[in-house]
Structure 1
Amino acid sequence: MSKRTFDSHFHRSNQAYLKNESGTRTEPIRIGFVLLEHFSMMAFTGAVDAIVTANLLSSCPLYTFQTLSTDGDAVRSDLGIDISVNAALLELDIRRFDLLFLCGGYRTPLQPDRQLLEKLREADRLGLTLGGLWNGSLMLAQAGLMNGYECTLHPENRASLEETCPKVRLSTHPYVIDRHRVSCAGASSALDMMLAVIRQHYGQEVVRGIEEILSCDKIGELPDRPMPTVASDPTLPESLKAVLQLMEANIEEPLGMEEIAGLVNLSRRQIERLFHRHIESTPSKYYLELRITRARRLLLQTNESIAAIAVACGFVSTTHFSHCYRDYFGVSPTQARQNRAKSR
């Protein structure tokens, strides 16, 4: 049987477990986070969460990162927690990084050290992409590195930037990417900013995978809303959502397409057209990928036997399950469990 590939939605859910097929993996992009006194912990962790999750979706790391302070000492965050760092920025060869972010916060002092400014100018001369979280972009502006660039920062610091750095194009957007400059205005926008950076590096499919993991419990203004599934997508026709709900509710004993068609009062051809238009897949392929994805989760997150998992996910035999699993993931279920054990 030829190698199977996942359709869009299930590709995102399974990215971390798919073998890299490009054969041309580049070196990971190297990021340094310079923690300034009283930096925003939430902004920093939001940015880091995005790149750590990106790595989880790849068989090879997409990013490496280090935390830095000017002198190598621990830095106190806005929460009053001292955070240790990997190295002293002023003592490093800045060429070990591709991106450098200055992480500020509401109470971060706004008079940067002369040595820090010179280090930032050196990073610019070497072609690094430079960024600021919260008011970190003000430091870049004070070094003359935002002149002619658009940037954003926290509203509390906008007046200072406008007065002291008139050549900077100040934006009101939550985050801004302008060529080799990146900035966000606060904690809530740091994650979105980093997702936009990742999108530039690795494309929308990786970002969708990250969002699927990190936004599973996003509730907005309705805290009692159930966590989303494909079948709950409000943009889909009600008839298609009914089909998807039937599939999700019948994994152990999969329904035949004629049976599904009868339950939703559609013809098989009508269902196929709905899937082609809205899911970019066929009903049978979607149903199989729904079941193989559930099987992968049970395989790697429980101690259930492979035979029991095969039955629970609607496969006619352990052999059939093993063949399907290998077709999608490139390894047998047994090998997948062994690999998972080695990675812990």
Structure 2
Amino acid sequence: MTQRFGFLLLPGFALLELAGASDALGAANVMLGEQAHDALLFSLDGQPVRSQHGLLMGVHGALAQARGLHALLIVASTLPEPGSASLAALAQALPGTCSPGAWLGGIGSGAGWLAGTGLLDGHRCAVRWEHVSDLAERHPAVVVSTHLFEMDRQRLSCAGGSASLDMLIHWLGQRHGSRLAQRLGGHFGLERLRTGQERQGGSQPQQAVASSKLAEALALMEANLAEPLATEDIAQLVGVSRRQLERLFKQHLGELPSRWYLALRLARARRLLQQTSQSILQAGLACGFASGPHFSRAYRAQFGHTPREERASRAAAWRAAPANDGEGFAAPALQAPSASLPAAPTPTDQD
């Protein structure tokens, strides 16, 4: 029986992440000699969706119109705003779209949207490394990991980049045998098949690979930026003494755990100031600083200027930027849909 595999595209999705998963399904069909998987594209409103770099991707319809899906993955590059209309539309559309026992999940930060509906409570999931701490803070009932991908009781999720290809090859291997997974790896020119237990390349420094205890400590830090853990608590959770943990950090990262942790929190605060409309106080509290003055002093020591100056420079850059009226925009070259996808509306660069 053909498995109906749905992809819900959200504005700003990454084409590479969609292509990795859909091409894996298409290649598997060829190797199996049958249409074992039928890939379908959906949006919340049935209209084409603009990708991260401006390409409008046609879809087969609105998610609410889908029926009998055996799997549904949400493809997104950002987390939803709590209480947003889009999240409400997703929660309303999901019931009735999938068959009993269907796989649900996300690609990139798509799992964050599924978490917003409550369907990830009690499950492990993976998202882009920069959203790990935000998602863990918003949904304490969800186990958010920094792994490349997670497969947990009908829940399937992965980080960004090429992780969707690794995840789908692993999923297909479980369903059709390891021989198919090996053939798919060779087809896509992969030197080796990455497992779900591998950590995202961007989530931790390369030196952390040398020590599993160090990797665990870094993962704990990344998942607890809003309410920082004491060094003693981190050491106990990863099963080493405080002195051993400090030795690991000094040996591999050249820094004490407390200093490294502070730098992680400040880096996240900087992203919040640059990329969101949160107030300076909100950004500080979200990164574990108990007061405005404490946040300001630490920020200046790290970056050479205060949070207020950071926000002012962003505002000045925004005012100085030329208005984008669409003129002079070079749309990406358009191509026919991937052969792994069924016939769908052709991508267009029309607004």
TM-score normalised to structure 1 length? 0.52
Instruction: Give yes or no for contact 1:118–1:143 (8 Å, CA) kept in 2.
Output: no
The residue aligned with 1:76 is: 50
Map 1:56-205 → 2, pairs under 5 A: 56-93=30-67, 95=68, 97-106=69-78, 111=84, 112-123=86-97, 126-205=100-179
Please report how far the alpha carbon of residue 159 of structure 1 lies from its aligned counterpart in structure 2 after TM superposition.
Answer: 2.3
Task: Please list the CA deviations of residues 194-228 of structure 1 after superposition, one character each: whole Å capped at 9, or x if unmatched.
Answer: 1111012111111111111111689xxxxxxxxxx
What is the number of equivalent residue pairs in this alignment?
A: 190
Paired amino acid for 2:74: L
Map 1:31-70 → 2, pairs under 5 A: 31-70=5-44
Map 1:261-276 → 2, pairs under 5 A: none
Instruction: Give yes or no for contact 2:45–2:62 (8 Å, CA) kept in 1.
Output: yes
Alignment partners' CA distance in 2, 1:137 and 1:33: 12
Task: Tell me how large the CA RMSD over aligned residues is.
Answer: 2.1
Alignment partners' CA distance in 2, 1:184 and 1:121: 23
Instruction: Give yes or no for contact 1:121–1:143 (8 Å, CA) kept in 2.
Output: no
Paired amino acid for 1:98: H
Please report how far the alpha carbon of residue 165 of structure 1 lies from its aligned counterpart in structure 2 after TM superposition.
Answer: 0.6
Task: Please list the CA deviations of residues 138-167 of structure 1 after superposition, one character each: whole Å capped at 9, or x if unmatched.
Answer: 011110011110111012222221121100
Please report how far the alpha carbon of residue 170 of structure 1 lies from its aligned counterpart in structure 2 after TM superposition.
Answer: 1.1
Runs of 4+ in 1 over 6 A off after TM superposition: 107-110
Instruction: Give yes or no for contact 1:34–1:70 (8 Å, CA) kept in 2.
Output: yes
Instruction: Give yes or no for contact 2:2–2:36 (8 Å, CA) kept in 1.
Output: yes
Larger Rg: 1
The 3-state SS of whatever aligns with 1:98 is strand
Alignment partners' CA distance in 2, 1:82 and 1:64: 21
Please report how far the alpha carbon of residue 92 of structure 1 lies from its aligned counterpart in structure 2 after TM superposition.
Answer: 2.6
The 3-state SS of whatever aligns with 2:162 is helix
The 3-state SS of whatever aligns with 1:158 is helix
More helix by share: 1
Residues 1:210 and 2:184 aligned together: yes
Instruction: Give yes or no for contact 1:104–1:136 (8 Å, CA) kept in 2.
Output: yes
Please report how far the alpha carbon of residue 124 of structure 1 lies from its aligned counterpart in structure 2 after TM superposition.
Answer: 6.8
Percent of aligned positions with the same letter in both sequences? 30
Q: 1:166 to 1:123 in 2, by over 3 A?
A: farther
Instruction: Give yes or no for contact 2:20–2:164 (8 Å, CA) kept in 1.
Output: yes
The residue aligned with 1:262 is: none
Where do 5+ consecutive residues of structure 2 fail to align? 193-351
Paired amino acid for 1:173: H
Alignment partners' CA distance in 2, 1:160 and 1:169: 12
Alignment partners' CA distance in 1, 2:145 and 2:110: 15
Map 1:271-286 → 2, pairs under 5 A: none
